A and B are shown apart, each in its own frame.
Chain A
Amino acid sequence: MLRTLLSRVREYRKYAFITPLFMVGEVAMEVLIPTLMALIVDRGVTTQDMGYVFRIGIAIVAAAMLSLSFGMAGAWSASKASAGFATNIRTDLYSRIMDFSFADVDRFSTSSLITRMTTDVQNVQQSFQMMIRICVRSPIMFIFAIIMVYHNGGALSLVFAVAIPVVAVCIFLIFRRTYTAFSNAFRGYDVFNRVVQENLNGIRTVKAYVREEEQLGKFEEASETIRRNFRRGQTIMALMSPLMMAVTYCCMIAISYIGARLINIGHMETGELMSIYTYTGQILSSLVMTGMVIVMLSIAHASMVRIAEVLNTEPGMDTNPDGLKAVPDGSVEFRHVSFGYGKSSKVLSDIDLSIRSGEMVGIIGNTGSGKTSLISLIARLYDATDGSVIVGGHDVREYSLRALRNEVAVVLQKNTLFSGTVAENLRWGNPGATDEEIRRACRVAAAAPFVEAMSEGYDSHVDQGGTNFSGGQRQRLCIARALLKKPRILIMDDSTSAVDTATDASIRKALREDVKDLTKIIISQRLSSVMDADQIIMLDNGRIADAGTHDELLARNADYRDLYETQTRGGNLDA
């Protein structure tokens, strides 16, 4: 997993490698300073040598300046490397998701893909930066400082041989226990957020049923979980600071006593003792820092796993770029086709059907009968599990996916418009479409009247998701967008459900008359939308229950008759 991620550093590798070097330089200078200071005290002051004091003073200034330069260089290269790394991960994720098949998207779910591309990438970027900066800085500081203690104090370094394991064990225990408490607290947040979210969405329901008190009870419970876990975590965490103080003071006492004795017998000098006090601080704080970084990295671990999972998913569909480039005609044939999502049970079984080029075909059936699955196979949104789907005389898998989808336009049940202008949205169908072509497509889709009535016409703004248009208007724009592709086959999956019956009929009339060669496949809940089709396919439980014209079905199929009567009883004039 780590390799999957780290290989994305690519062109920023040099910055990633150079950053630790800068850190080493910065730390080396920083650790040198107390020793130089010791020299001033021991050689300069005791021997009253002003010249020496200034010489070493300049050396310290130089060391500080060097340390500053290294530090700034490290800050820059670490930012460069981590921002570049995050950018590359985002690009790769985005690119990979673009290659995903519908089945892959289903498996991850849209919202989870969004989280992976946003929050998770940010977490990984943070930890990467920490890894190349702090993760190097603290241990190096620790080692250098110990070396200097040994150099200046010799036997005094034994104090740390006792102190370091004690601190390390305590840090380990404290962090491990707080980690569980805090991760429980974060899980508590999920419940907490859910309660608030549900109340925001359902506030009218809550108020209509006067359930404010009951909801408050749920909320208090969730808040209590957070309070309990945070309190537990922070209570353990509260040991940290006094513990570090205690260790520091113990070290100081031991160092003072041993130091005094060493100085007494001439094995050490006063300045050196002073420098060791400073090193004590550096050693202990770098230990704590390392512990903290490890905790943060382990929190980011989950994000890393989630990102790697996407990157390591091979798109589940062969796009066959070298396949056939043109679809000869708009005929469709299913031969013994079965299909299921994943390993679960079959959604379609043994479907046989044949549609001639230019026909208008209606598909009806209850929710879950397999209507959407059936049409998804034509544009190869999914691949059939068994049997073959034949478009224009060739198996769909023989075409390059791109060519196939360009010739088979699908107006999805869940339409999406994108932020931009109306014309920009329509040009998704055909980037080179002329204004006249756009107008024509809109006329067929009955979108022209309302678009042209807007003050800015085809340049009117579309909000994200098209929320500034009504459901019926969105559906008509989506049909126009699909028509602009000039496909051989047009599939409409319940695409006129929010359009009134009169407009619906006019769209069908225009489709029939203006684009005669186009094969039209229409899924609908409304019989009136498919009644005049050349053939109506009745799906039930993944099988074709019957197929024929309206008159044939009305004559021979009792279910169809029932449906017809139910829907026409109300006058068949539902809006």
Chain B
Amino acid sequence: MLRARATAARAKDPKKAMKRVLKLVFGERKLKFAFIVACILISSFSIVYSSNFLGLFIDECVFPLIGVEDPSWAPVIASLTQFAAIVSISVVFNYLLSRTMVGISQDTLYTIRVDMFRRLESLPVSYFDQNQHGTIMSRFSNDTDTLNQFISHALVQLMQSSITLVMVIVSMIMNSWIMTAVVALFALLTMKATSSIAKRSGRQFAAQQADLASVNGFIEEMMNGQRVIKVFCHEDQSRSDFAALNEKLRKSMTKGNTYANIMGPVTMNLGNLQYVALVIVGAVAVILSGGAASGYTIGLLAAFLQLSRSFSNNVNQISQQSNMVLLALAGAERIFELLDEESETDDGYVTLVNAKMDESGNLTETGEHTGLWAWKHPHHDGSPVSYVPLRGDIVMRDVDFGYVPDKMVLHDISLYAKPGQKIAFVGSTGAGKTTITNLLNRFYDIQDGKIRFDGININKIRKADLRHSLGMILQDTNLFTGTIKENIKFGKLEATDDEVIAAAKLANAHGFIMMMPDGYDTMITNNGESLSQGQRQLISIARAAIADPPVLVMDEATSSIDTHTEALVQSGMDRLMANRTVFVIAHRLSTVRNSNAIMVLDHGRIIERGDHDDLIAQRGVYYRLYTGAVELE
């Protein structure tokens, strides 16, 4: 990841990204933007003003009084008072500027974060297959952080520096052409020097990041495999491997840091040399011109020296920030990429509603919770809305599917499941078992064929309602940080405590939950690290139970759990499966036997089908699997 960051550090189209960032920051805040520009103008003006003031003060208040006995101090005080008044205003505006920016930047970042997350949650499952979690994560962490830096600091800094720079240049030209030429010369020199250092330092930095990535990668791998290292007495070998990588990193890091550290002294001393040149040129001009009449005075020199300082300070500021800006814009581009991802589409118009029977035995819609559900099906041809009871009847007909259009992974899949039936899928990894179940709840859309739920094409059903009517127990149990109760209620947010306990009892989870220190209020962290594998499965069964869907998809866990817990899981599942249409992806053939139908899959095709006895009698693949002659992997 580190390596990827080092190479992909540049923005593809910085201008476009910049425009969009500015639109996000100021787009809805035109008035505030105007105010900020005004603040910047005022404070920039005051910087130029105070530099010039020094010159005037020396020429008009200090020099005339030299050697004067008991002079009048009133003009001096008056001049200083005027100065004080102007700079106080600029101090106030400077504060207002910072305060305003804090609000703007943090609100913008909040919006960006929330928009990103909202978009993320709306993306199709395929997005998560195709993008590594680490990469997505860094949109939320690294990229947002650099953007934060940019919006909170660099953006205003850049605007302020640029405006100040323009004002300083104008003021310098008005003061003296010759000395401005000297400053311009040095400005060129500084830019040359810094850009050549920056180029080298960039190369070194990339090398250093690459070495750092390999050291960190090594550390991660070895720390995870530490027990094996110890068991094999491999410590010394591993130490010397590490030493070699570490030494390489030391060398590139020394170089990289040296270049980075050198930047400061170089620009500062070029500034000092510019200062000398100005003093000499100025001094010569003052001496040669011989006095105030020509305009070259010590006051002017003093003012110019101050101006030149702020000139080089602002140039340095801009060059330092511009590197940061490019980094931030590259991050912003990646954020925008995420924001521009296509959301999952949903054209469904058939919805799930509470229903009740009226006197004549017809289904009608009702607002109250009846426990009876129906599909509400409006028709395009103008015929009246029809209601179909939710039963859990699934039909797949001639379904073809591929994750990418030109590579089909499922061919001609046809099957039906009547309400209450249990259908099992058996086959090796990659045969397409999980894929089939992912089509039912429309994690993916089929290329060809039809899938009907209670006789309705699932493409017509609103996704949220389709998914509410399908329970999923996935192979890897995902629990969320929160209490056990909250995790069970994930299946039904409005569930009462009694419902939670009933679901847990059904899933055989109640027993172990009551043994926990805080019972149902025990906190679960880190995907349930304090629970055993089996206990986590029990919670996920309870979660599905409380949702009480008519159709259930179960992907059996492969990891080994002990026999006692496994028996609990098994009986919990059996109870959950009762009276539901169930699709089981089986990894243990023992759970398959009592299915109504078993589908043996191979390379995306159903090669054998029937119940256990049929398939054993066929003496085909299922038979060989069952007798242990071939391995399920």
Contact = CB atoms under 8 A, between A and B. Distances in A.
A194 B481 contact: yes
Given A50-B287, A257-B80, A367-B561, A273 B58 contact: yes
B297 to A, nearest CB: 10
Contacts of B593: 570
B106 A402 contact: no
Interface stretch (B5-13, B170-178, B245-253, B450-458): B245-253
B323 interface: no
Interface in A292-309: none
A137 to B, nearest CB: 10
A41 B298 contact: yes
B272 A33 contact: yes
Interface in B279-299: 279-280, 283-284, 286-287, 298
Contact of A263 (B65, B215, B287): B65
B590 A570 contact: yes
Interface in B529-547: 532, 534, 543, 547
Interface string B560-584: 1111110100000000000000000
Interface residues of B, number: 153
Contacts, number: 411
Contacts of A530: none
Contacts of B543: 209
Given A193-B137, A256-B80, A416-B224, 18 more contacts: A33-B276, A74-B261, A90-B246, A98-B229, A197-B133, A204-B125, A205-B472, A208-B472, A209-B490, A234-B106, A241-B95, A245-B87, A245-B90, A252-B50, A264-B65, A415-B228, A502-B629, A575-B631
Given A224-B110, A231-B106, A241 B283 contact: no
B91 A91 contact: no
B515 to A, nearest CB: 12
20 contacts: A37-B276, A41-B279, A41-B301, A44-B283, A54-B280, A78-B261, A79-B257, A79-B258, A87-B250, A193-B141, A198-B527, A199-B117, A201-B527, A205-B478, A212-B122, A223-B117, A226-B110, A416-B227, A499-B631, A570-B589
Given A114-B223, A129-B257, A192-B140, A91 B443 contact: no
Contacts of B272: 30, 33, 60, 63-64, 67
A388 interface: no
B283 A40 contact: yes
Most A CB atoms within 10 A — which of B114, B231, B264, B441? B231
Contact of B474 (A91, A204, A212): A204
A94 interface: yes
Given A418-B221, A575-B587, A201 B478 contact: yes
Interface in A395-431: 402, 405-406, 409-410, 412, 414-416, 418-419, 428-429, 431
A-B residue pairs, 8 tightest by C-beta = A71-B265, A570-B590, A202-B478, A75-B261, A238-B98, A79-B257, A208-B472, A575-B632
A8 interface: no
Contact of B94 (A72, A86, A241): A241
Given A75-B258, A574-B588, A64 B273 contact: yes
A574 B288 CA distance: 104
B279 A563 contact: no
Interface in B137-170: 137, 140-141, 148, 152
A412 B305 contact: no
Contact of A259 (B62, B110, B239, B467): B62
B302 A274 contact: yes
B83 interface: yes
B588 A260 contact: no
Contact of B261 (A84, A133, A194, A204): A133
Interface string A369-404: 000000000010100000000000000000000100
A540 B491 CA distance: 36
Contacts of B258: 75-76, 79-80
A41 B283 contact: yes
B62 A260 contact: yes
B276 A57 contact: yes
Nearest to A78: B261
A204 B264 CA distance: 51
B224 A110 contact: yes
A12 to B, nearest CB: 10
B33 interface: no
Contacts of A259: 62
A513 interface: no
Interface in A536-566: 563, 566
B383 interface: no
A502 B250 contact: no
Contact of B262 (A75, A365, A419, A500): A75
A45 B298 contact: yes
A235 B481 CA distance: 32
A94 B223 CA distance: 9
B534 A367 contact: yes
Contacts of B562: 365-367, 525
Given A33-B275, A252-B50, A94 B239 contact: yes
B128 interface: yes
Nearest to B55: A274
B226 A97 contact: yes
Most B CB atoms within 10 A — which of A91, A237, A260, A503? A260
B416 interface: no
A208 B438 CA distance: 10
B228 A238 contact: no
A26 interface: yes
Contacts of B534: 367
A196 B283 contact: no
A94 B242 contact: yes
Contacts of A242: 91-92, 94-95, 98
A432 interface: no
Nearest to A497: B560
B366 interface: no
B84 interface: yes
A136 interface: no
A84 B254 CA distance: 8
A223 B265 CA distance: 40
B472 A45 contact: no
B514 interface: no
Contact of B58 (A26, A270, A503): A270
Interface in A1-60: 26, 30, 33, 37, 40-41, 44-45, 48, 50, 53-54, 57, 60
A404 B611 CA distance: 54
Contact of B219 (A68, A71, A117, A415): A117
A187 to B, nearest CB: 14
A569 B238 CA distance: 48
A254 to B, nearest CB: 9
Interface stretch (A164-172, A335-343, A354-362, A465-473): A465-473
Contact of B266 (A54, A68, A223, A274): A68
Contacts of A216: 114, 117-118, 121
B268 A234 contact: no
A61 interface: yes
A230 interface: yes
A227 interface: yes
Given A129-B257, A575-B588, A45 B283 contact: yes
B220 interface: yes
Interface in B462-486: 463-464, 467-468, 470-472, 474, 478, 480-481
A515 interface: no
B424 interface: no
Contact of A30 (B99, B122, B268): B268
Nearest to A71: B265
A52 to B, nearest CB: 9
A573 interface: yes
Contact of B467 (A208, A224, A235): A208
Given A30-B268, A102-B230, A575-B631, A211 B490 contact: yes
A436 B283 CA distance: 88
